[in-house]
A and B are shown apart, each in its own frame.
Chain A
Amino acid sequence: MIEAKLPQASLLKKIIEAIKELVDEANFDFTESGIRLQAMDKSHVALSFLHLRDDGFREYRCDRSQTLGINLNSFSKILKCAANDDQVHIKATTDNAETLMVSFESSGKDRISEFNLKLMDIDIDSVDVPDMDYQATVTMSSQEFARIVRDLSSIGDAVTIDATKQGVKFSASGDDGNGSILLKHQKMIDDEGTSSTSVEITEPVSHSLALKYLANFAKAAPLADSVTINLIEEAPVMFEFKISDIGHIRFYLAPQIEEDNE
Chain B
Amino acid sequence: MGIKGLKQVIADRAPAALRTVEMQHLVGRKVAVDASTSLYQFLIAVRSEGQNLTTSDGSTTSHLVGLLYRTSNMIESGLKPVYVFDGKPPVMKGYELNKRREKREKAEESLKNAQEEGDDEEMLKQMKRLTKVTPEINEQAKRLLKLMGIPYVTAPCEAEAECAALARAGKVWAAASQDMDTLLFGAPILLRNLTVPAARKLPIEEIHLDEVLKGLEFTQDQLIDMGIILGCDYCDSIRGVGPKSGYELIREHKGIDGAVKVEKVAKGVPENWPFDQVRELFRNADVSDCSEDFAWEKPDTEGLVQFLVNEMEFSEQRVRSVAAKLEKAAGKGQQVRIDSFFKVTAKRAPAKGASKGGAAGNKRKGAAAAGGAKRPKK
Footprint of B on A, CB under 8 Å? 24-25, 40, 42-47, 69, 71, 98-99, 118-130, 157-158, 208, 210, 234-236, 252, 254-259, 261
Contacts and interface: CB of A to CB of B under 8 A. Distances in A.
B347 A124 contact: yes
Contacts of B363: 120-121
B24 to A, nearest CB: 6
Given A44-B344, A121-B352, A157-B332, 6 more contacts: A43-B27, A69-B362, A127-B338, A128-B342, A255-B333, A257-B334
Contacts of B337: 43-45, 254
A91 B295 CA distance: 54
A191 B336 CA distance: 40
Q: 6 tightest A-B contacts by CB?
A: A256-B333, A121-B349, A261-B295, A98-B365, A42-B25, A254-B336
Nearest to A74: B376
Given A123-B346, A208-B333, A47 B338 contact: yes
A218 B173 CA distance: 32
B378 A257 contact: no
B338 A252 contact: yes
28 contacts: A24-B378, A40-B338, A42-B21, A43-B26, A44-B338, A45-B28, A45-B337, A71-B376, A98-B365, A99-B365, A120-B363, A120-B364, A123-B361, A125-B345, A126-B344, A127-B339, A128-B345, A158-B332, A208-B333, A252-B338, A254-B337, A254-B340, A255-B336, A256-B332, A257-B336, A259-B296, A259-B330, A259-B333
Contacts of B339: 44, 127
B365 A210 contact: no
B366 interface: yes
B200 interface: no
B365 A120 contact: yes
Contact of A236 (B28, B338, B344): B338
A137 to B, nearest CB: 18
A125 B334 CA distance: 23
B201 interface: no
B22 interface: yes
Given A119-B365, A210-B335, A125 B343 contact: no
Given A123-B347, A158-B332, A256-B333, A118 B364 contact: yes
Q: Which residue, A24, A45, A258, has most C-beta atoms of chain B within 10 A?
A: A45
Contacts of A45: 27-28, 335-338
A235 B344 CA distance: 14
Given A42-B25, A119-B365, A124-B347, A259 B338 contact: no
Contacts of B341: 234-236, 254
Most chain-B CB neighbours within 10 Å: which of A44, A69, A157, A236? A44
Contacts of A236: 338, 341-342
A42 B365 contact: no
A172 to B, nearest CB: 12
A123 B362 contact: yes
A125 B347 CA distance: 5
A43 B336 CA distance: 10
A256 B336 contact: yes
A40 B342 CA distance: 12
B135 interface: no
Given A25-B362, A98-B365, A236-B338, A43 B24 contact: yes
B60 to A, nearest CB: 33
Interface string B364-376: 1110000000011
Contacts of B344: 40, 44, 125-127
A63 to B, nearest CB: 19
Contacts of B364: 118-120
Interface string B300-343: 00000000000000000000000000000010111111111111
Contacts of B350: 121
A123 B362 CA distance: 6
A47 to B, nearest CB: 5
Contacts of A124: 347
A100 B241 CA distance: 48
